[in-house]
Amino acid sequence: MKSDLTMEKSEHLDEGDACPEKCGGTLHYLKPVNCSCRISPPCSSCTDVKITCNYCGWEEEYTFESAPESAQKAPSTEWWRRKKGSHDFGNGKRIFDYDYDSSSGSTMVYTGRYEGDVTAADIIAVIGDGTFGHRGPFMDNGRFTYTKITD
């Protein structure tokens, strides 16, 4: 059951509050249906649950304007940014700005930069070897490419 009741923007309902319809019921969140948090948390079944009255069935009308202020802010994109790797061997030798691409599913292709007398063995020691070996590292003009074979 939905109500035409419009709430003031400053009013925020919470679990355990009295029903705004004044029916004598209390508000609670229903258990999510078809939760898929085990695959990709949090799932929409869990985040889209509306607050409901346990007596008359009243449901909160949820719009962007009625959302708490924290939900109205633009989402951060910082969560997906990965810091690029860096390793200092000492004596002026280092590898830096290295990252990998694993889009093939069976390899991890590392690309990066190096300074000083860095050897292929140094790069393998830091990044590691693939389960089924590797290709490279190929080094040229301060840049390297190294492929770990994982499958």
Profile the chain (151 residues) by mean pLDDT over runs of 10 residues: 42 82 88 82 80 86 56 54 79 88 85 92 91 91 92 79
Domain total of the chain: 2
User: Does 67 share its domain with 97?
Assistant: no
89 and 122 assigned to the same domain: yes
The pLDDT assigned to 4 comes to 43
Contacts of 124 (CB under 8 A, 6+ apart): 134, 137, 146
How far is C-alpha 92 from the geometric centre of its chain's CA atoms? 36
Burial 71-98 (b: 16+ CB within 10 A, else e): eeeeeeeeeeeeeeeebebeeeebbeeb
Note whether 3 and 24 are same-domain residues.
Answer: yes
Domain span at residue 89 reads 85-149
The pTM (predicted TM-score) of the whole model is 0.46
Q: Within this chain, do residues 62 and 96 fall inside the same structural domain, yes or no?
A: no
Tokens representing residue 112 in the block: 């990066």
User: Which amino acid does the sequence have at 37?
Assistant: C
**112 in the same domain as 56:** no
Residue tagged 């633009």 (tokens): 74
pLDDT confidence of residue 12: 73
